[in-house]
Amino acid sequence: MNGLSLSELCCLFCCPPCPSQIASKLAFLPPEPTYTFLPDLDSGPNAVGAGNRSRTGTSANGGTEERWKLHLTDRAEYQYSQRELDMTEVFTTRSSRGNKVACMYIRCAPSARFTLLFSHGNAVDLGQMSTFYIGLGTRINCNIFSYDYSGYGVSTGKPSEKNLYADIDAAWHALRTRYGISPENIILYGQSIGTVPTVDLSSRYECAAVVLHSPLTSGMRVAFPDTKKTYCFDPFPSIEKVSKITSPVLIIHGTEDEVIDFTHGLALFERCPKAVEPLWVEGAGHNDIELYSQYLERLRRFIGQEVAVQHT
């Protein structure tokens, strides 16, 4: 996350800026897109375009349907074969704010009970995350549904706090209506900046469970660690919403996180009445928690035992 300049710090205390201005300085770093959606000219519901790293899907906007192929560039660093990519469907949906939202559904485990609605971190897009999604889903026996925020990948518009909430709403409704998946079988998973829309959605809708991976309490508390209260202009105020979540919440945070301090995870855990036993990864930073064995172990236990038992 970016810091604030001296002039911006002065403006902050002289005349509080609007939340979108703080948000853009703190969080949004959309990368150069690592994928494209290409029109699929082949016929048939299971048509796969020629060439490597392509997979078909459909887009439903305004009642019309168009089929797409997912094409990953070398920058996506995709590590699987075409067989794994064939488990993936791509399409676009429209948010309430008028932006086109790119979506990806990976059938990692076709007979799986739960689907993760995954809100990824900053400075990545669906193309870069595709390898991780396939590996994660197959290891925890879950299907993965993800989307790109406005201004990321092939999603249109510009990143903003309001768009962030509208984007996950569009993804949630697409997952439910397009695939007929009920809330009791959806696990909301947010990583880093992705915990912001995840907390917002789960504070408004009940689901099977929630995972908050390296979460932040609020934008101001990231920029100014000594902040003790939530101001009206504070963007991403997850600390004020987490108490409204009615689903089980697993919080994961590295003790040596250099981007979002470990104290953010602790504060959310203390404020969340539905929090389960958290995972504090000793020595882990912001971007390497997945490399620790306890990460998968805790997720498997949470999803396969704790969440599954509540929904039997």
Largest CA distance in the chain: 61
The rounded Cα 231 to chain-centroid distance in angstroms is: 25
Catalytic option among 95, 257, 261, 264: 257
- Residues paired with 36 in a beta bridge: 71
* 192 assigned to active site: yes
Catalytic option among 71, 120, 264, 286: 286
* 213 assigned to active site: no
* 286 assigned to active site: yes
Spatial distance between the Cα atoms of 167 and 169, rounded to a whole number of angstroms = 5
Instruction: Give the global pTM.
Output: 0.87
Q: Which of 132, 133, 131, 162 is nearest to 145 (CA)?
A: 133
**Which tens digits make up the pLDDT trace of 221-267?**
888 888 888 888 888 999 999 999 999 999 999 999 999 999 999 99
Query: What pLDDT does 230 receive?
Result: 83
Task: State mean pLDDT over 91-98.
Answer: 97
Query: What pLDDT does 2 receive?
Result: 47
**Which tens digits make up the pLDDT trace of 54-69?**
565 655 444 456 789 8
Catalytic option among 146, 150, 192, 218: 192
Task: State mean pLDDT over 283-303.
Answer: 97
Indicate the pairing of strand 100-106 with strand 143-147.
Answer: antiparallel
Q: What is the CATH number of domain 90-310?
A: 3.40.50.1820
Cα–Cα distance list, 157 to 6, 153, 160 (Å): 29, 11, 9
**Which tens digits make up the pLDDT trace of 204-234?**
999 999 999 999 999 888 888 888 888 888 8
